[in-house]
């Protein structure tokens, strides 16, 4: 990737306005496009959905499949550099793009994140540097490997090696019989079995790494998941113990450096009981893109994760991000539109907009909706960032917001 900066507002070598492209038109692409436009760039999105959230706000929307040769050619013609907003973009498409334009993250980095077996092997390689390892695991790709699974990995969780997200493609198993049945249920595709660990909490770290090797880290985020989907992120002093936070940041930097990664990277961790009355850290998985848990940066930091994504792609300087306000992020799923006042409506009823006027009357509330045309249960429709002068104030406001939306209270 070229180290020559692509300056906002400048003309490219092709005599066109400097344009940044993104593979994928979802909400992460939309927020990248908005950040790029705020800095003065033109933007282009490749996504087959004519109503994709990012495509609706970009200067150019190329409506083709991700592996369409003509679509890729159009994207290269339009853009000076290209990124991705989700990890399941076909790696060959990124290889094609990378042969002609700067692409960040690279196809190789995305390919590692697409495959849990490769991903965990990478984490193991980084362990001696960071001191943080994945949970004990075994790869299951054949019947022979299934039969050879060590007994001490059970009970565990079997996960598909590819295409699993938000809790999908995962089954908990207690013994060998359940493991064999689960592998059959998952279609006998390549999987990993992870040992179940004594989970205390979950956290994540977002770093941005430039082509020159400079890395900056955002504060560590404490995450709460429900039904496998992120529900809340809390980011303030004390949300994650300081020693674990420092180890998580160092581990994430090591993972990015070992991949020679360029772009924004999120790594998720489990905080587990170490059996001695304390806590330890286990690396879970990584996302080669901005992440739900980093949305708070839009209102609580002087540089958002999406601006960092623009800076890494364009080769701009990367100052260390500064969090200026305690923050809580609430994920807004489509269930809320069928859940007025916390009471689920009949399936035949039309969706009803949540009480945004009441929510936005509370100080420090920042609503981000993704421009999706229809709500449905489980669909990510937006998020709400809550900021304030103190942790007490932010938690009090968040408690009121959750009550208004009919969501579970803070722990």
Give the CA radius of gyration of the chain. Answer: 21
Residue 184 buriedness (CB in 10 A; 0-12 / 13-18 / 19+) = exposed
Q: What is the pLDDT of residue 348?
A: 46
Residue 116, marked binder? yes
114 Cβ contact list (under 8 Å, min separation 6)? 87, 88, 91, 162
Residue 209, marked binder? no
What's the topology of domain 199-405?
D-amino Acid Aminotransferase; Chain A, domain 1 (3.30.470)
Pairing status of strand 170-173 against strand 221-226: unpaired
Residue 335, marked binder? no
Residue 67, marked binder? no
**Mean pLDDT per 10-residue run, the chain (411 residues)?**
81 90 98 98 97 97 97 97 92 93 95 94 93 95 94 94 74 94 93 95 98 97 93 96 95 96 98 88 96 98 98 97 98 89 58 94 98 91 98 98 95 85
How far from 36 is each of 21, 205, 311, CA to CA, in Å?
10, 22, 9
Dihedral sign computed on CA atoms, order 10, 11, 13, 16? positive
Q: Where are the domains of the chain?
A: 19-103, 136-195, 199-405
DSSP letter string over 7-18? -TT-B-TTSSB-
Nearest to 34 by CA among 22, 46, 23: 22
In the block, residue with structure tokens 């689920």: 344
The CATH-assigned architecture of domain 19-103 is 3-Layer(aba) Sandwich (3.40)
pTM confidence score: 0.94
Residue 167, marked binder? yes
| Spatial separation of the C-alpha atoms in residues 234 and 270, rounded to whole Å | 15
DSSP letter string over 83-116? EESSTTS-HHHHHHHHTTS-BSS-HHHHHHHH-H
1 Cβ contact list (under 8 Å, min separation 6)? 102, 103, 104, 106, 211, 262, 315
Residue 202, marked binder? yes
- What's the token pair of residue 227? 């039904």
At the top level of CATH, the class of 136-195 is: alpha beta
Residue 166, marked binder? yes
Residue 302, marked binder? no
| Spatial separation of the C-alpha atoms in residues 83 and 102, rounded to whole Å | 9
136-195 and 199-405 agree in CATH topology:
no
399 Cβ contact list (under 8 Å, min separation 6)? 409, 410
| Spatial separation of the C-alpha atoms in residues 222 and 233, rounded to whole Å | 6
Residue 285, marked binder? yes
Residue 279 buriedness (CB in 10 A; 0-12 / 13-18 / 19+) = middle
SS3 56: coil
Residue 257, marked binder? no
- What's the token pair of residue 177? 């019989």
pLDDT digits (tens, 9 = 90+) for 302-315: 999 999 999 999 99
Residue 170, marked binder? yes
Residue 168, marked binder? yes
In the block, residue with structure tokens 């660990």: 197
pLDDT digits (tens, 9 = 90+) for 370-409: 999 899 988 999 999 999 999 999 999 999 999 999 999 9
């Amino acid at each position: 990737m070229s180290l020559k900066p692509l300056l906002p507002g400048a003309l490219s070598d092709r005599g066109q306005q400097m344009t940044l492209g993104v593979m994928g038109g979802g909400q992460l692409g939309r927020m990248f496009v908005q950040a790029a436009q705020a800095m003065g760039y033109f933007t282009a999105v490749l996504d087959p959905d004519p109503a994709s959230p990012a495509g609706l706000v970009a200067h150019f929307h190329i409506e083709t499949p991700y592996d369409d040769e003509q679509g890729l050619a159009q994207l290269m013609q339009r853009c000076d550099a290209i990124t991705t907003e989700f990890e399941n973009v076909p790696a060959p498409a990124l290889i094609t793009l990378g042969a002609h334009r700067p692409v960040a993250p690279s196809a190789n980095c995305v390919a590692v994140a697409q495959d849990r077996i490769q991903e965990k092997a990478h984490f193991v390689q980084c362990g001696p540097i960071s001191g943080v390892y994945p949970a004990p695991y075994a790869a299951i790709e054949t019947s022979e490997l299934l039969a050879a699974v060590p007994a001490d990995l059970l009970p565990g969780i079997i996960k598909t090696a590819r295409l699993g997200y938000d809790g999908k493609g995962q089954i908990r198993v207690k013994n060998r019989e359940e493991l064999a049945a689960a592998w059959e249920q998952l279609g006998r595709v390549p999987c990993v079995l992870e040992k179940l660990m004594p989970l205390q909490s979950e956290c994540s770290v977002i770093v941005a790494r430039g082509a020159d090797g400079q890395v900056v880290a955002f504060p560590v985020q404490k995450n709460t998941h429900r039904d496998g989907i992120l529900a809340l992120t809390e980011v303030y002093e004390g949300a994650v113990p300081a020693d674990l936070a420092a180890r998580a940041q160092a581990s994430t930097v090591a993972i990015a450096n070992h991949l020679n990664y360029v772009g924004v990277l999120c790594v998720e961790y489990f905080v587990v009981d170490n059996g001695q009355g304390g806590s330890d850290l286990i690396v879970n998985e990584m996302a080669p893109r901005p992440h739900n848990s980093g949305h708070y940066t839009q209102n609580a930091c002087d540089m958002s994760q999406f601006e960092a994504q623009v800076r890494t792609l364009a080769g701009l300087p990367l100052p260390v991000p500064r969090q200026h306000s305690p923050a809580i992020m609430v994920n807004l799923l489509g269930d809320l539109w069928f859940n007025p006042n916390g009471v689920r409506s009949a399936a035949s009823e039309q969706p009803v907009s949540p009480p945004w006027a009441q929510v936005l009357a509370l100080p420090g509330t920042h609503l981000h909706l993704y421009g999706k045309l229809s709500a449905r249960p489980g669909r990510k429709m937006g998020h709400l960032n809550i900021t304030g002068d103190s942790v007490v104030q932010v938690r009090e406001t968040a408690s009121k917001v959750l009550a208004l939306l009919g969501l579970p209270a803070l722990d």
